[in-house]
Amino acid sequence: MSLRIKEVLKEKGVSVIQLSEKLGVTRSACYQYINGNPTAECLERIAIALDVEIGELFDIKKDKKEN
């Protein structure tokens, strides 16, 4: 499972600078959230700032089994 914050930013037409302003953090901190392992609280704040469900920030790949 990986984060797809970059993809959601692109889908929403929001830049990292705009997200950092909405979160009230530096661009550097915002990049760390995007490229690192943000806390659950940070993910919740990002989801609220982007107006998405928190689950949309994750790329969950499901294995499909053939019968």
Q: Find out whether 38 and 46 touch, Cβ atoms under 8 Å.
A: yes
Q: Domains of the chain (ranges plus CATH)?
A: 2-59 (1.10.260.40)
pLDDT number for residue 1: 56
Angle, alpha carbons 63-59-7 (nearest 5°): 145
Q: What is the pLDDT along the chain (67 residues), one digit of tens a residue?
A: 578 999 999 999 999 999 999 999 999 999 999 998 899 999 999 999 999 999 999 987 654 444 4
Q: Give residue 31's identity as a one-letter amino acid code.
A: Y
Summarised one tens digit per residue, pLDDT across range 50-60 is 999 999 999 87
